[in-house]
Amino acid sequence: MDVKLFLRPEEGGENQEDIYDVIIIGGGAAGATAAIYTARADLKTLVLDKGLRTGALGMTGKIANYPGVPGEVSGAELLKRIRGQAENFGAHFVQDKVLTTNLRGEVKEVQGSKGVYYGRTVIIATGSMGRTHTVPGEERLLGRGVSYCATCDGAFFRDQEVAVAGNNDEAVEEALFLTRFARRVHLLVQTPELKASPDLAAEVSQHPKMEIHLATRLREVLGEQQVESVRVVARGGQEQVVPVAGVFIYLQGGKPITDFLDGQLPTTETGCLMVDEAMQTSISGVFAVGDVLCNHLKQVVVAAAEGAMAAIALQRYLSGRDKLRPDWS
Ligand SMILES: Cc1cc2nc3c(=O)[nH]c(=O)nc-3n(C[C@H](O)[C@H](O)[C@H](O)COP(=O)(O)OP(=O)(O)OC[C@H]3O[C@@H](n4cnc5c(N)ncnc54)[C@H](O)[C@@H]3O)c2cc1C
């Protein structure tokens, strides 16, 4: 279906029929699921997305833990199915990159590279994929042994050796989680001592499956079709190649994608958007869901659930109800 690019108000645009009930920025797990719910509720729904394979779900090689989808499915295939379901209910998907927004007015303005779109409400679902690929081999072998999520991919490495690069609580927790499956976990820590909180540091130091490489940098991920080893260098310049089947990288963390907001919404210290229990931000009618939030377990099922919650709250907002969150308790 054709999607109209709308005129700016000063150009004679902003007719009632030109305004979407909801514009969803980001059509990944969270955004596409929100679109299922809003389109199903007969709301005029527009989803703006950069591309099928540009987000965390779209680029994931295989997903094996999404309920109702047994076996392994590629992230892109799962996302196509979610988007297809939303489209069948009437949601419009447009491939466009959102550049700026003006969210304060009653009618929200979203500027993409192809035009301007207007909506009564906005859901921000742009995810958290800002990490640049800093280690040679990381990008090439992503999904083929390189991972950023032990909870997601740990089970693929049963009885094998893996490496974890990182030194924060997340890295250490993920390394401990991997000991359930892997034969041996090499924790590559750049500093001379562990920076994780004391209880985690103690647990990881005593774990019989853990080998901690202090003051050691991950230099390169090696392998032809799959990860075969990592090249590491210890302080003082001593290099070593450690054979591993997988490497889990937590060096800079994902950075939530919020550049198009130009500071209109407050973020936490780590750049995550903040919402209330109805998934609404500090601006009325503007919601945020998925990996762009903090305190969030980065899983498809969680992002999808948040998309559904925002869609339901938004329906209540549009019908003028004071209380956006139904009494679920
Ligand atoms: C390698 C890897 C493996 C994973 N494996 C699993 C797994 O096995 N199981 C599991 O449950 N979870 C897994 N995850 C986590 C899961 O993919 C994420 O938690 C989930 O996809 C988050 O959904 P989201 O919609 O918030 O973000 P995303 O899926 O990242 O979607 C965000 C969307 O926003 C779009 N976007 C961003 N900026 C703009 C813009 N300016 N304009 C327009 N569009 C924009 C992107 O193109 C993207 O489509 C994995 C993640 C990674 C990185």
Mean pLDDT score, 199-210? 93
Q: Going by DSSP bridges, is the β-strand pair 98-102/108-112 parallel, antiparallel, or unpaired? A: antiparallel
Q: What is the pTM assigned to this prediction?
A: 0.76
Tell me, using a 6 A CB cutoff, whether residue 127 lines ligand 1: yes
Q: Is the CB of 103 under 6 A from ligand 1?
A: no
Beta-carbon contacts of residue 160 (< 8 Å; ≥ 6 apart): 182, 183, 244, 245, 246
pLDDT over threshold 90, residue 188? yes
CA of 60 to the centre of ligand 1 (A): 8
> What is the SS3 assignment for 36?
helix
Average pLDDT score, the chain: 89
Residues in Cβ contact with 92 at an 8 Å cutoff, skipping those fewer than 6 apart? 1, 3, 45, 46, 47
Q: Is the pLDDT of residue 12 over 60?
A: no
259-273: average pLDDT: 90
Whether the per-residue pLDDT at 172 is higher than 60: the answer is yes
Proportion of the chain above pLDDT 70, given as a percent? 91
- Tell me the pLDDT band of 15, cut-offs 50, 70 and 90: low
Choice among 8-22, 164-178, 254-268 with the minimum mean pLDDT = 8-22
Nearest CA to ligand 1 atom 10: 299
1 confidence band (pLDDT: 50, 70, 90):
very low
Number of Cβ within a 10 Å radius of residue 192: 9
Give the per-residue pLDDT at 40: 97
**pLDDT, average across residues 223-245:** 95
Q: What pLDDT band is residue 225 in, cutting at 50, 70 and 90?
A: very high
Residue 168 pLDDT class (50, 70, 90 cuts): confident
Residue 196 Cα to ligand 1 middle (Å): 26
Question: Measured from the CB, is residue 57 less than 6 Å from ligand 1?
Answer: yes
pLDDT at 14: 47
Region 95-117 average pLDDT: 94
Residues, the chain, total?
329
Burial of 299 (0-12, 13-18, 19+ CB in 10 A): middle
Work out the pLDDT band at 163, boundaries 50, 70, 90.
very high
Q: What is the pLDDT averaged over residues 89-114?
A: 94
Comparing CA positions, the residue from 270, 263, 197, 188 lying closest to residue 229 is 188
Residue 16, pLDDT > 60, answer: no
Res. 17 pLDDT band, cuts 50 70 90: low
Q: What is the mean pLDDT of residues 162-183?
A: 90
Give yes or no for residue 48 CB within 6 A of ligand 1. yes
Q: pLDDT exceeding 90 applies to what percent of the chain?
A: 66
Active-site annotation holder among 49, 152, 272, 291:
152
More confident residue, 96 or 149: 96
Rounded to the nearest whole angstrom, what is the distance from the C-alpha of residue 203 to the centroid of ligand 1? 31
Ligand 1 within 6 A of CB of 95: no
Residue that wins the pLDDT comparison between 113 and 295? 113
Cα 140-300-100 angle, rounded to 5 deg: 80
Average confidence (pLDDT) over 246-262 = 84
Arithmetic mean of pLDDT, 171-189: 94
Look at residue 271 and tell me whether its pLDDT is greater than 70: yes
Q: Whose CA is nearest to atom 5 of ligand 1?
A: 152
| Beta carbon of 129 within 6 Å of any ligand 1 atom | yes
Indicate whether 329 pLDDT > 70. Answer: no
125 ligand 1 Cβ < 6 A = yes
Please tell me the distance between residue 25's alpha carbon and the centre of ligand 1 in angstroms.
Answer: 13
Average of pLDDT values for 28-32?
98
pLDDT value at 301 more than 60: yes
Mean pLDDT of 132-146: 85
Burial class (CB in 10 A: 0-12, 13-18, 19+), 15: exposed
Residue 257 burial (10 A CB sphere; 0-12, 13-18, 19+): buried
Residue 152 falls in the annotated catalytic set:
yes
**Does the pLDDT of residue 202 top 80, yes or no?**
yes
Statement: residue 206 has pLDDT above 60: yes
What is the CA(117)–ligand 1 centre distance, in A? 23
Q: Looking at ligand 1, which residue's alpha carbon is closest to its atom 20?
A: 300
